[in-house]
Structure formats: structure tokens, C-alpha cells
Structure 1
Amino acid sequence: MAEDSGQEKTEQPTSKRLRDAKEKGDIARSKELATTILLLTAAAAAMMFGGLVADKMAGMMKFNFALDREAVMDPALMFIHLGYSLSEALQALIGFFLVLLVAAVVGPIALGGWNLSMKAMAPKLSRIDPLAGIKRMFSLKALLELFKALAKFLVVGSLSFLVLYSSRQALFSLGTQDVFPAMSHATELVIWAFLVMSSTMIIISLIDVPFQIYDYTEKLKMTLQEVKDEMKNTEGKPEVKGRIRQLQREISQRKMMSAVPEADVVITNPTHYAVALKYDQSGGGAPYLVAKGGDFVALKIREIAEKHDIPILSAPPLARAIYHSTEIDEEIPSGLFKAVAEVLAYVFQLQRYKKQQGPAPKDVSKDLDIPEELRRDE
């Protein structure tokens, strides 16, 4: 019964509903995808700049630990050491931080795209409502978020243990190495361990992204009645109807004009009307109308015909009769078969004459027989 009454949300969200939701700031997002992108970018940046950071740290340690008594007792020299250390640290980390900044911007918009919504930024009292907050805490979404947090802990924690366990010999050997080689080796171990552990987030993202898209679509699904009401409200607006009719006319006119180069003849009024006919000799049917128009459209049909060497014949009575009695892609009325056959015969004879394969044809435009019921004065 629910489905028959149209109350069950079984319909996919319309483009208008998706657009309205986006204006409100409601779009599909995946925090796991953003976290994955940030962590993997951080790992890649660490691989790019890790050697530089290690070298800078070693230089800072060597510079700052080699202090004599005079430098320690002189505040000015200590400020010099501090300035040097800050400068070296900035040079070492600036590239790393810039890469992370880009990842921090790209990550959140990787799913759903960029969306700046003033409605979403507007203050809402419901956000500080304690009852609404308690309801959110015990909702199905909160339960799913808890499940995801536990899954992340188990996956990342397990892999971290395996990475550290497999690297235990290398970690223990650091204590037996000199300071600077140990620092370089430790940096390499940390970077690779971080990269492997960050890669585990890919698994969680591959599960979370499809779920977020599905959940977002399900949330915006509509009842059958909502779809009908939206169509009624949208298409009922005069400006929308006018725009639809305009687009339909433009599409129809473009299609019609593209068929003019395939016509066998264009018959004109000569300026007020123009009709383009095609006859499929292999099909055995009657000639049919591929394009027609008045005034400006008629002029455009003539221009296209001239451009593609389509014969143009001035026969006002026949042009008016075809224009008023025949629609696009329809065969001409039986009452005009004889007149159109004479025109086509004239056109084909004219083509042979131009190829010097026959005599000059006689102009038939003034002797065409148009039935009274198909004649039009205008």
C-alpha cells in the first residue's frame, strides 16, 4: 500500500533535488578518503624531503652542541644560534608543509567537489540543541562511525605491529651506529613504516567512498508524489515552458538544416517560403520533405542549398502547397505527386545537361498542376 500511495522513497533524486541539496551544503563527503590522501601525501613528501630534513637536523645538532663557555655566557651568541636553528628548520620543512597544505585542501573535496554554501555557513540553533545531539550520538550513523573507528584501529594497529616487528633488528642496530648514520637510517625506517601504515587507509577508503555515495543517494531519494510535484512546479512556470519550447525549436531547426545538403531540390516562393525535398529512388516511396521554412529560415535553406550545389527552383504555388500541407519527414500528399515528379524530372535532366550528357531541359515551374484543395494564396 505504501508503494501504491507513492509514499515510499523509491525514486532516484532528480537533478533539481541534487542541486538544491548542494546549495544547502549537503553533498557526499568521505572523511576516510580525505585522511588517506593526507597521510599518503605526507608519506610521499617525507620521502621527497626526508633526506634534507635529516641533513639539516644533523647540521643543527653539530652547530648547537659545539658550544664553548664564552658562547653559553653570551646572550647575543645564543640568539644567533637560535636564529640559525629556526632558519635551518624552516628551510627543511617549508617544502613538506606546502605539500601537506595542498593535500589538506584537495583531500576533503576529492569526493563531491568544491562547494561554497552560504546556507551551510549560517548559524543554526539545532546544532546546539542537546536533545538533537543525544539523538545523533545514538543514531545508526554514529554506530557506523564507531564501527569504522574500531576497524581503523584494528587494521592500522595490526599492520603497525607487523611493520615494527619485522624492523626490530634494524631498530636495535641503531644503538650501535654513530650518531649521524643512525639519524639517517632512523629517518629512512620511519618514512617507510609511515608509508606502509598509511597505505592501510586505502582499504578503508575503498569501502567508505561507495558507502558514502550510496548513503547520500538513499538520503535524497524521493517518493513518486514528490517527483510528480516537482515536475508540475518546474514545468508549470511560464518561463520554464518558454525556455523548453525555445530549446525544442532550436534542436528541431538544427536537425532540419543538417538535412538540407542531402535534398534533391529546393522549391521556393521565391523569398517567403522554401521547401527541400528528397526522393529515394531505391526505396520506391514518394518524395518526402526534409526541411521547410518561411522568411529568414527560407533564406537560410537557400544559402545552404547554394553552398552544397542543391538545385533551387522558383515555383511559388507548389512551394506554398507543400509548405502548408506537409510536415518534416512526411511524404508529400498524393495530389502533388504529378507536380513534384515533373520538378524532379526537370532537376535530373538539368544535372545530366550540366554533365553534357543530355539536352537542356524545359523549365516546368510555370506549368505545374496544383489541385485547388492544396492551393494557398499566401
Structure 2
Amino acid sequence: MPENKTEKATPRKRQKAREKGQVAKSREIPCVMTLITGITVLYFYGSHMYQRFRGFSQYLFVNPSMEQLHLLPHLVLKEFAFMITPIMAGVLIVAIMANISQVGFLFSVEAISFDLSKIDPINGIKRLFSKQMVVEVFKSIAKIAIVGFVVFSIIKGEISNLITLMDREVGAIFKYLMVVSFKIIIYVAPIMVILAAIDYAFQKWEFERNLKMTREEVKEEFRQTEGDPLVKARIRSLQRQMAKQRMMKDVPKADVIIKNPTHLAVALRYVKEEMHAPKVIAKGAGIIAEKIEEIAKSHGIPVIQNKKLAQALYKMVEIGEEIPAVLYQAVAEVLAYIYRLRGEMNE
């Protein structure tokens, strides 16, 4: 992995990897779980299997016939299926659950689709000598060595009992083998579980490492998903311009413009039949304030200087909102003054 891949994978890249079937998964966990399940079911179900097999064998030998000889393969397969179904069912269920517990429900069409690169001999040779393959070989050797040592130690301790098996009945031999097998699993299982946990941690770490991205890749993905920042900035600029244009068109509808002497201007409109309180229909600072005042004067709209009220309206009220109750009295005094001026002018 290049050194410049320092950024964690984005959710989008993780989703794409999942769609391709690329997930952090250990093959050791299903193997361990199915092995433990199979031996456990066999231990508790073994005596029943033996009795069923014994009864089936006696039936064949006690009631021999040409018809039974002709049907023997069918009968054997049928009986064998009945005997191993509980074991296979338990192993299958546990194998599925072991995989689901690691990656959840996942079905990737792309992972099973035909790809010529998968059968390319050159790529095959590269994969054969890749670092991942070396790690897999090392894990397999370590697992075989550890498990083999445990199994050898147990069998070595049972040599004296193995010698006496020749003098025992078939049932006793079968039972003894089941006990020894279960004993082996008891000792091997914890070791296998630890190895599986280590392998899963390694697979998780390797997956995250391979999934890392460069800063350029993160920026490019952001542009693809969120849009180019320059384009978005341009769109926001156009939206602000359009909003200003609409706001300026509403200025002639105002009843009064309240400004402070320097750089703020707020346009108020009040229609008793339509509004509960006066509404801010335009506001601005600097050049926009000057433009509001210019439009207002050209349409004969009164412009009142009130520094505190202008600042309060500008900070507290957005365009299109009615003024808050705390400003009712101050605005009412201004509007009353304007209405008196209009009355005097009309007279």
C-alpha cells in the first residue's frame, strides 16, 4: 500500500467494496464452529447412530433375499442419509450463522461473476507468491503444528487403552472412539478459537489497511457525491442574487424603512387584514442598505433613522417574518408617526 494512503475509507467506498464481496472475514471462524458443532452432535447422537446402524445391519443379514440385494444400494443410501442428517443440519446452520455474524447478510453478484483475470495464469502465479498467501501458509503450518501436537499428546496417553480395543465389542469400541474424539475436541477447541480470533483481528486490520484512501481520492469522491465545491459556491451565489432581486422588488410595498445612520436598512410592511404584526420584507447592510434606501425614496416611502430599532430588527427578524412582541411598541410608534404624516399630507 502506498504511503500516501493515510485516510480512512469513506462510507461510499466501504459500500462499493461490500457490493464487490470485499469484506473483513476469517475463514477460520466457520471452520472452528462447524468442527465443534459436528463433534458435539456426534457425541450426543453417536449412540443413536450406532444403534440404528446395528439394527439395519442385523436386518440385512437376518433377512437376506435377492430383492433386498437388488435394493441394497438404495437402502444403504437412505439409512445413511437418516443417520447423518442431524449432523449435517447442525453443521450447516452453524456455518451460516458464523458467516452472518462476521459480515451480515451479503450476496454479491459481482463476486461470483465471470472474470478472465481470475483464470489468468500470470495473476495466479502472483497470487501464489503474494504476501497474503505467505501469511495463509504460515497460519496453516502453525495451526497444524499446534493442533497436531495436542492430538499426538492425547493419543499417546491413550496407547495402553488402544491396545485393548481388539478384545472389546464393536459397541464398546465405537463408544471409546467417540469419548476420545470428544476429549481431543475439548483440548483443541480453545486453541482453535484463539487462533480464529487472532485471524479475524488480522483480517480486519488487513482489510482496513487495504481500504485506505489518499487525500486526493477522498476529495474526488466528495466532488462526485456532494458536487464540485466551486460549482456549489457558484450556485449559492446565484441563489443569493435571485433572493436579493426578489427582496428588492418587495421594497416598494413597504410602509417604512428603518435605518441607522451608517450601514443598516430594514423595510417593514403591515396590512392589518393579512398580518398579526408588521413583517420585515427586506433588509440589508452596506451597499444593499443603500440600494433599499434609494428604491424607497424613489417610491416616496418614508425613511426613518432609529439606530437601536434598526439593529434589533436586523439581528432578530429574518426576511418574511413578523416582528417579535418585544418590538411591538417601538415599531408601533414609528408606524403611528408615519400614518400621522400621511394623514397630514392627505389633508
* Equivalent runs, 1:2-151 vs 2, <5 Å: 8-66=4-62, 71=64, 74-79=65-70, 85-151=76-142
Q: How does 1:113-262 map to 2 (within 5 A)?
A: 113-236=104-227
SS at match of 2:222: helix
Q: Is the 8 A contact 2:43 2:178 kept in 1?
A: no
When Rg is computed on C-alpha atoms for both structures, the one with the higher figure is 2
> Contact conserved, 2:24 with 2:103, CA < 8 A, in 1?
yes
Match of 1:301 in 2: none
Aligned to 1:255: none
Structure 1 alignment gaps of length 5 or more: 246-313, 342-364
Whole-Å Cα distance in 2 between the matches of residues 65 and 164 of structure 1? Answer: 35
In structure 1, the residue matched to 2:269 is: none
Tell me the secondary structure at the aligned position of residue 23 of structure 2: coil
Using a 3 Å threshold, how does the CA distance of structure 1 residues 46 and 374 change in structure 2: closer, same or farther? farther
Q: State the Cα deviation string for residues 177-205 of structure 1 (Å, max 9, x = none).
A: 23323333333333333454344321210
Seen in structure 2, the aligned counterparts of structure 1 residues 66 and 212 have a Cα distance that, compared at 3 Å, is same
**4+ runs of 1 displaced by more than 6 Å?**
318-324, 371-375
SS of equivalent residue, structure 1 residue 222: coil
Q: 1:119 to 1:215 in 2, by over 3 A?
A: same
The CA distance in 1 between the partners of 2:20 and 2:335, in whole Å, is: 59
Report % sequence identity.
27
**Partners of 1:236 and 1:372 in 2: how far apart?**
49
Work out whether residues 9 and 223 of structure 1, in 8 Å CA contact, stay in contact via their aligned partners in 2.
Answer: yes
CA shift, 1:24, in A, is 1.6
Partner secondary structure for residue 9 of structure 1: coil
Amino acid at match of 1:207: I
Greater alpha carbon shift after TM alignment, 177-186 vs 214-223: 177-186
Amino acid at match of 1:232: R
After TM superposition, give the deviation of residue 315 of structure 1 in Å: 5.9
Which amino acid in structure 1 is aligned with residue 88 of structure 2? F
Task: Output the CA distance in 2 between the equivalents of 1:373 and 1:236.
Answer: 47
- Higher share of residues assigned helix: 2
- Which amino acid counterpart does residue 62 of structure 1 have in structure 2? Q
Kept in 1: contact 2:39–2:181 (CA 8 A): no
Q: 1:374 to 1:180 in 2, by over 3 A?
A: farther
Q: Report how far residue 92 of structure 1 moved.
A: 2.2
Does the CA-based 8 Å contact 2:42-2:87 persist in structure 1? Answer: yes
* Root mean square deviation of aligned Cα: 3.6
Paired with 2:104 and 2:146, the residues of 1 have a C-alpha distance of 28
Deviation digits for residues 51-71 of structure 1 (CA, Å, limit 9, x no counterpart)? 21122223234334446xxx3
TM-score norm. by structure 1 comes to 0.59
Matched residues in 2 for 1:43 and 1:100: separation?
A: 10
Give the C-alpha shift of residue 121 in structure 1: 2.0
Contact 1:36-1:205 within 8 A present in 2 as well: yes
Q: Give me the TM-score of the superposition, normalised by structure 2.
A: 0.64
Q: Distance in 2 between the 1:66 and 1:193 partners?
A: 37
SS of the aligned residue for 2:6 comes to strand
* Paired residue secondary structure (2:330): coil
Alpha-carbon distance, 1:76 to partner: 1.4
Distance verdict in 2 for CA 1:75–1:202, change over 3 Å: same
Aligned partner of residue 67 in structure 2, secondary structure: helix
State the alpha-carbon separation in 1 of the partners of residues 99 and 33 from structure 2: 9
C-alpha contact 2:280 2:317 (8 A) present in aligned 1: no
Contact kept, 8 Å, 1:44 with 1:195, in 2: the verdict is no
How many angstroms apart in 2 are the aligned matches of 1:131 and 1:81? 50
User: Contact 1:58 / 1:180 at 8 angstroms: preserved in 2?
Assistant: no
Q: How many residues align?
A: 260
Who is 1:260 aligned against?
A: none
- 5+ residue gaps, structure 2: 237-274, 282-308, 339-347
Question: Are 1:46 and 1:96, in contact at CA under 8 Å, matched by a contact in 2?
Answer: yes
